């Protein structure tokens, strides 16, 4: 059983900030900023493509609820909302989850930058191929 499934089953402790029948949100054990929260389905999915659209929408809805709750308490300047899908993207626990990361300033310990990276532009044929029809 994966680490997040153990948290969902209350087999190991976590600082849970939200829980319902399908979704759980808890504070990251190694937060990059104050209030760094993980939002996950309680049922194990190791790939977003296996989650229903309704479940993903519910997880996004919980992030909105948490933002409204966190704003007057933590006073962040903004939020990053991200997911690392699969090991190549930096996913360390193979259980679908989103990171809700309150941002405070440029010195808050998180650097997300696309500047200075090689650009991988698509040609017209590739762009057309990627369209959902």
Radius of gyration for the alpha carbons in the chain, expressed in angstroms and rounded: 17
Close Cβ partners of 128 (under 8 Å, ≥ 6 residues apart): none
Active-site amino acid positions? 97
Burial class (CB in 10 A: 0-12, 13-18, 19+), 95: buried
């Amino acid at each position: 059983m994966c680490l997040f499934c153990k948290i969902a089953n209350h087999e190991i402790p976590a600082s849970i900030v939200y829980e319902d029948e399908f979704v759980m949100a808890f504070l990251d054990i190694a937060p990059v900023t104050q209030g760094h929260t993980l939002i996950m389905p309680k049922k194990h999915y190791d790939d977003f493509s296996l989650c229903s659209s309704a479940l993903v929408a519910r997880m996004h809805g919980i992030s909105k609820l948490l933002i409204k709750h966190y704003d007057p308490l933590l006073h962040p300047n903004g939020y990053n909302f991200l997911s690392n899908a699969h090991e190549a993207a930096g996913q360390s626990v193979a259980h679908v989850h989103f990171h809700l990361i309150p941002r405070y300033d440029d010195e808050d310990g998180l650097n997300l930058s696309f500047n200075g990276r090689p650009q991988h532009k698509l040609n017209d044929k590739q762009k057309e191929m990627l369209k959902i029809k």
